[in-house]
Amino acid sequence: MTDLSQFDPNTVGNPNNNIFGLPFAEEDARLVILPVPWEVTVSYNAGTARAPEHVFKASIQVDLFDPEIKDAWKQGYYMRPVDKKILMKSDYLRKEAELYINYIAEGEEVLDNKFMCKTLKEVNAGSLYMNEWVYQQTRELLAENKLVGLLGGDHSTPFGFYKAIAEKHGEFGILQVDAHCDLRKAYENFNYSHASIMYNALEEIPGITKLVQIGIRDFCEEEWDYIESHKNRVVTYFDKDIKERVYEGQTWATIVNEMIQHLPQKVYISFDIDGLHPKLCPHTGTPVQGGFETDEIFYLFKKLLQSGRQLIGFDLNEVGVSQDEWDENVGARCLFKLCNMLVSSNPVPAQQSASTLPA
C-alpha cells in the first residue's frame, strides 16, 4: 500500500511523481490510465499522438480537491509510460497516410498507383496492430480488477478497449461526447479510421447495446442515414437541436435526464475533446464551432452517476498540443474528473476507504 502520511495534497505537485503529482505505483493504484500515442488516420490537424505526455505534464497543476467527489484520488491513479514503439509506429505511418490523403483528395485513383496501394495496406495493418495492442493491455488490466481509462491519441484508439470491456462486463452503452458522429464506413479507405470508430464498434461488438451521442455538429449524409436506420441502438443529440430546445425554454437538466434515460445500467464514456467549444480545445484535430462548456459536461456526468448507472470505463481523446499548453490543461482537468467519476461509480468494499458519490 502507498503511504500517504507524508503526502500533502495542498502543496505544489511533484513532477517526479505520477499523473496529477500522485505518488502511486501501478500495483497500488486502483485506476490505471493507458496512454495510446496514435494519430495515423487523422484527416486534418495532427499532434494528438503527443497529447498523453503533454497532459501528464499539465496534470501536475491540477488541484486534487474535488468538492463533489472528495478524496477519490486516495484510491490511487497511475498512468503508464508512453510506449515509444507505438509512438514511432504512429509517426511513420502518419507520414505515409498524409501522402495518401493528399493523393486521393486530388481525385486520383488508388489502384493506379502501386505505392498508394502499398501505403493503404500498411496503414490498415498498423491500425489492426494498434487495436490488438490496446485490447491486450486493457484486457490484462481488467483481469487484475483495475479500473481503466484510456488517454489518446485520436479517436480510433479505444476500439480494442471496447472489446475488452465487452468481455469483462457483457452488455453496456456508450455515452459519446463529440462534434462528429464517427459513423463513417472505412473513411478514406482506412478501415479503422478515427472517423469510423463508432461504426466499427457497433458493427463488430454486439455487447454495445446503445450509443448516445451528444454535441454532434459536423456529419455527412452517410452518417445521417446510419442513424436513421439504427434508431434501436443509436440516439443522437445534435448540437443545433440541443441549443434550440434551450432557446425555447427547456432546461439543460431536462435534456440531460432525457439523455440518460436512453442508456443501460452499465455505461462507458467516450469523450472526444472537440465536443467542447473550440475556445477550450483550439488545437484539437478537427475543431468545429459550437459545443459545450466543461461544466455542462461535468453536470451530465454527475447526473449519470446519480441515476444509479455504473460507469465502467472511459476514453479521452483528440486533445491537441500547443505552445501555451492550454489544450493540455483543459484535457488534464477533464481527465481528473473522469477518474474521480469512475472511482466513485465503483465503490470499494466497506472495510476500505471509499469515495462519496456526487452531491
**Got the DSSP string for 71-140?**
TGGGG-EEEPPP-HHHHHHHHHHHHHHHHHHHHHHTT--GGG-HHHHHHHHHHHHHHHHHHHHHHHHHHH
Assign residue 19 a region: left if phi > 0, alpha if psi is -120 to 50, beta otherwise?
beta
The mean pLDDT value for 343-353 works out to 77
- Nearest-CA neighbor of 343 among 61, 40, 66? 66
pLDDT one-digit tens code per residue, 157-215: 999 999 999 999 999 999 999 999 999 999 999 999 999 999 999 999 999 999 999 99
Helical H runs in the chain? 51-59, 84-105, 114-143, 159-169, 197-204, 221-229, 239-247, 252-261, 294-306, 326-344
pLDDT of residue 43: 84
pLDDT of residue 356: 39
Q: Sketch out the chain's domains with CATH numbers.
A: 22-344 (3.40.800.10)
Grid cell listed for 359: 452531491
Task: Please name the residues in contact with 9: beta carbons below 8 A apart, sequence gap of 6 or more.
Answer: 64, 65, 73
Which is more confident, 82 or 356? 82
Q: What percent of the chain has pLDDT over 70?
A: 97
pLDDT one-digit tens code per residue, 63-107: 999 999 999 999 999 999 999 999 999 999 999 999 999 999 999
User: What does the mean pLDDT of the chain come to?
Assistant: 95
Q: Is the peptide bond before 153 cis (omega within 30 degrees of 0)?
A: yes
Distance CA 48, CA 247 (A): 34
* 3-state secondary structure (DSSP) of residue 195: helix
Q: Are 34 and 149 in contact (CB under 8 A)?
A: yes
pLDDT band at 349 (very low <50, low <70, confident <90, very high): low
